[in-house]
Structure 1
Amino acid sequence: MKLNIDHVLMGIAVALIGGGFLALSAHSSTQDEGLASNFTSSDKVTFDTNFKAANGQCDVGLAKHGICFEPSPLEQRIELGEPFPENMFPLAIEWRAGLALDQKAPDLKTVRVGQTLILMDRETRTVIDMLDVGPQQNAETEAVTAG
């Protein structure tokens, strides 16, 4: 059998396709077992308190990014273990704030309403965990870690 350019090109194409499948399978086999399914203690200390923002004094947020979390009366409508209210749209947390938190399981969504972070199931909208990052909560956290 005589090799010609068609055989060589076919061999290269098969090798490239095989390499692509290997790369995809290696990329898709990331392990999610070590990801958090609730807020952690390091999540609580991620946010800055009492800093100067562009719009004035800020109680809590991310100072270096100029993100300020203002309190909201809607925070009181959300209950742990209950579905996220149907008449409220679950806006995802600001991406810079989300990057600062520990990575969560892929079936969970981190939402912010006012000064409360909510971890909810993407499918059922059930509130799995809540974290109040308001100034009164941060003062209590700092007192516990200092004492």
Structure 2
Amino acid sequence: MRRNAKKRLLPLVFALVLTLLGTALAVPKIGITVQKVGAGTTDTVAIDTTKAAVNWEFSGLVITGATITLDKGPGVDGNWTFYVTLENGTVISKTGSITSDQTTITVSGLNIDLEDTYITKVSLVIAGKQVSVS
């Protein structure tokens, strides 16, 4: 290779290295930390309930409420949230309190007209302070 060609090639290689280095520095780094449920406290979080059954209350084609029967009390005094997801993506939620040995939850004021929509998902979340650790 001629000396003149080497002189032209060196700035080109240097510019290419700087471009690649600049591109590498422009990519942001995102860090994510995942924490297990209950890892933020020293208390053990446990719910004794494993199964639930929902009995709907109707007025014609409108669901007005529900009675949820648990296989056993949750073992904690706390709160519950009942979620009903409809086909159009609307989520209806109702909340209440629960005692550690309570096995029945009554939900009122739902007002879901089954002539206009249908239910795609039902969820029950129970959360509370630990009463006893076994």
Q: TM-score with structure 1 length normalisation?
A: 0.25
Greater Cα radius of gyration, structure 1 or 2: 2
Give the TM-score normalised by the residue count of structure 2.
Answer: 0.27
Greater percentage in helix: 1
